[in-house]
Structure 1
Amino acid sequence: MKYTIPCLFGLEALVADELRRLDLKNVRAENGRVHCDGGPADIPRLNINLRCGARVLVELASFPAPDFEALFQGVAAIPWEDCIPRDGEFPVKGYSISSQLHSVPACQAIVKKAAAKRLGQAYGCETLPETGDRYQIQFALIKDTAAVYLDTSGDGLYKRGYRAHNNGAPLRETLAAALVLLSRYRGRDPFCDPFCGSGTICIEAALIALNRAPGLDRSFDAQRWGFVPSGDWLTAAGEAMDKEFHGRYDIWGGDVDPRAVAIARDNARKAGVEDVVRFEVADMRNFRRDDTYGQLVTNPPYGERLLERQEAEALYRDFGKMWERLPDTWRTLVLSSHTEFERTFGHQAKKKRKLYNGMIKCDLFMYGNV
């Protein structure tokens, strides 16, 4: 089977590394997605274990689609009856880039019609009930070539299940996990976020320190599919739990907003890491640590959604003064979309990496021992 893992732009290398660690074959990265080969048992393994991927798609076909007829025939040739039962619900979504078929709603209608025709012929009915489990069809039209997938995940993999609420400007869990991985945190040193908000970065750091698979506490669409044995899900979950670590960790998050800290603590409890991470009401300006080594990873307000630009710049100046008190052996990663972050922070980053927080183009500014 061929799998495609979409991801936020800038995270392709991290997702590729995750796939290799899971022993997937023929791993290859493109802009915004990573491909690999595997077997049916890898559907549970991928969904349960991936930290940075957006979802797990099974590629069913790829073919030239310069016009609607080619798209229809290509989709109709897929043996949908092998995976979608008679009562299966099969919604369609997708996108088109640099293709003659640029109308996404029109392409959705064609894909739906072609799949319905094939299934109707296979099951001997003119109208399909679509009252059963969901089999989400996705398509990608890129330079007049169509790729057609089944989405095994359902809700995006960033929905770990622990964050019922956020504090206004959420950072996706997949991006938070990526920041932790890029900091090279593995649980040994102190880990701090002085702008913790709803606690996502610290909670993902706790999951990484514990080596706890992020998908253990949620469900996936493919769990209800007949061609993915339920035993494979139990096996994948058991293997993931067997790999967990147990120890004492120094993971701290602070925020000036008591409501944000309360939400962060509640999210940590839902994630099962309330005994691993500490959240406190604290002003970043008073932050001090004397530990020889550590990681400070944070996503301060950008001045676009939570604070006005001038307020953000004042905050960055104070942040820069606080950062000067840290030992220079600390590794510091700051995600910001502010184009003048380095100037207002007062320090040139050793490295920068372009990332996207949703649709917001950001830079990851990396300081210290990077």
Structure 2
Amino acid sequence: MRQFELIAPCHFGLEAVLKREILDLGYEISKVEDGKVSFWGDEEAVAYANMFLRTAERILLKVGEFKACTYDELFEGTKALPWEEYIPENGKFWVKKASSIKSKLFSPSDIQSIMKKAMVERMKQKYHRERFEEDGVSYPVRVSLMKDIVTVGIDTTGVSLHKRGYRKLQSKAPISETLAAALIMLTPWKKDRILVDPFCGSGTFPIEAAMMACNIAPGMNRSFLAEDWINLIPRKHWYNALEEAQDLVHMEESLDLQGYDIDPEVVKNARENATAAGVDHLIHFQQREVAKLRHPKKYGFIITNPPYGERLEEKEMLPGLYRQIGEVYEKLDAWSMYLITSYQDAERYIGRKADKNRKIYNGMIRTYYYQFLGPKPPKRREGETR
């Protein structure tokens, strides 16, 4: 099978989590950069990466890389790429997105239009045509310029991978599915441990945890753009990936996953999202304010995305809210707490310094993942349940 270099963008600060996922799938890493991980894979890898990676935003098929400091160099570099090896004669192709960091070429619209012209010129030469109908399958191109190095890829995913297909309804400030999955993976939580999100919003943390516990592949209930690229990827690879994903599902009935929110409408929406994901019977959602969070068992986890105070009217309530979080956590026996927030006084009002602190970008907002580590539970004897 043909080998490709594939590029998987992710949230800044979570490259190590994605790298581990790719290695677990059995693929070789070629490069790790800020906000993306590149790896080698065959035709099958395109389907499997889209189906199984929980923390990637999309999968790009790398066409090439070159240096360009002028628009002439951008045109010639783009024209030199073997577009005919990827895009058929009737394919629809355009530069969907261009980004530029620390490069001499910085206008996205100019980059897009010049690269499109160069692609057309290349295709004219190779297909011996003056005009292209572009009435076939879509091959959207994404390009990034970093310090004048142009990296060009074709998007195999389409709608971003964070769209699992279950979140029809969302709260005011939802956390994305890919980010929630990555944050859970950064904790030692396992399916036999309690997980509570007292600000559950759309229910994303407990839903993603349930999907992990039951081995439900994140791409099982959606489609991907490259499914129609029969010139590059035989359909059998998509069928095989879905069949394997279905075979791997194992519903865990004994999970202790809980989501609370003070807004009853938000709780209703979270339940509906969990139903769409097929895990509603595994999660207990309830209207409850954070101050009333209690649990009799030890060694549980709080993993949550509390209000940041991005809106002015919220800022006044934050000190009291984070003080409540600290007081509730203090009363829980041997629990760990992980929370992501941009609120810089979080530790101050929680009342203790986090054991670990990781900087992560949630969209354009710089946030911190505060990690308060509880003790590890004692090892269980064979046959024991916790």
Whether these two folds match at TM > 0.5 is yes
Structure 2: gaps (5+ residues): 376-386
Q: Which amino acid aligns with 1:140?
A: S
- Which of the residues 150, 163, 168 maps onto 2:154? 150
Structure 2 residue aligned with 1:230: 235
Q: 1:195 touches 1:300 (CA, 8 Å); kept in 2?
A: yes
- Which of 182, 198, 206 lines up with 1:194 in the alignment? 198
Match of 1:66 in 2: 69
Matches within 5 A, 1:163-312: 163-226=167-230, 227-247=232-252, 248-305=254-311, 308-312=314-318
RMSD between aligned residues: 1.4
AA matched with 2:71: F
Match of residue 2, structure 1, among 5, 21, 38: 5
CA offset at residue 27 of structure 1?
4.5
Equivalent residue number for residue 39 of structure 1: 42
d(CA) in 1 for partners of 2:105, 2:183: 37
CA drift at 1:186:
2.3
Matched, 1:17 2:20: yes
Name the counterpart of 2:348: 343
Deviation for aligned residue 1:166: 1.0
Which range moves more in the overlay, 147-156 or 235-244? Answer: 235-244
Q: 1:326 to 1:156 in 2, by over 3 A?
A: same
Q: 1:317 aligns with which of 310, 315, 323?
A: 323
- Check the 8 A contact 2:169/2:270 in 1, yes or no: no
How many angstroms apart in 2 are the aligned matches of 1:198 and 1:140? 32
**Matched residue SS, 2:43:** coil
Look up the equivalent residue of 1:266 and give its one-letter code: E
What one-letter code is carried by the residue in structure 2 that aligns with 1:144?
A: D
* 1:201 aligned counterpart, secondary structure: helix
1:133 paired residue number: 137
Q: Which residue of 2 aligns with 1:85?
A: 88
Per the alignment, residue 32 of structure 2 pairs with: 29
Report what 2:372 is aligned to: 367
User: Displacement of 1:307 after TM fit?
Assistant: 5.1
Alignment of 1:352 with 2:338, yes or no, is no
How many matched pairs? Answer: 369
Offset of 1:212 from its aligned partner? 1.1
Tell me if the contact between 2:329 and 2:335 (Cα under 8 Å) persists in the aligned partners: no
Residues 204/346 of structure 1: CA separation in 2 closer, same or farther (3 Å cut): same
Deviation at 1:296, TM superposition (A): 0.8
Tell me the TM-score normalized by structure 1: 0.96
- C-alpha distance after superposition, 1:202-227 (max 9, x if no partner): 11111111121101101111001121
Q: Secondary structure at the match of 2:75?
A: helix
Cα distance in 1, alignment partners of residues 257 and 93 from structure 2? 43
Judge conservation of contact 1:183–1:295 (CA < 8 Å) in 2: no
Structure 1 gap segments, 5+ residues each: none
8 A Cα contact 1:60 1:149, kept in partner:
yes
Q: Normalized against structure 2, the TM-score is what?
A: 0.92
- Residue aligned with 1:108, SS: helix
Secondary structure of 1:38's counterpart equals strand
Identify the residue that residue 76 of structure 1 maps to in structure 2: 79
1:199 touches 1:267 (CA, 8 Å); kept in 2?
yes
SS of residue paired to 2:92 = coil
Contact 2:322 2:350 in 1 (8 A): yes
Q: How far is the alpha carbon of 1:82 from its aligned partner?
A: 2.1
Report the equivalent of 2:382: none
**Paired AA for residue 70 in structure 2:** D
Q: Secondary structure at the residue paired with 2:272? A: helix
119-128 or 150-159, which deviates more: 119-128
Name the structure 2 match of 1:53.
56
Distance 1:200 1:305 in 2: 22
| TM superposition shift of 1:155 | 1.0
Inter-partner Cα distance in structure 1 for 2:149 and 2:202: 41
Give the Cα–Cα distance (whole angstroms) in 2 for the partners of residues 304 and 183 of structure 1: 26
Question: Percent same amino acid among aligned pairs?
Answer: 40
1:91 aligned counterpart, secondary structure:
strand
Equivalent in 111, 119, 122 of residue 118 of structure 1: 122
SS at match of 1:369: coil
Following superposition, the deviation at residue 136 of structure 1 comes to: 0.9
Structure-1 separation of matches of 2:374 and 2:113: 53
The answer as to 2:164 corresponding to 1:160 is yes
Q: Distance in 2 between matches of 1:285 and 1:306?
A: 23
**In structure 1, what is the equivalent of residue 106 of structure 2?**
102
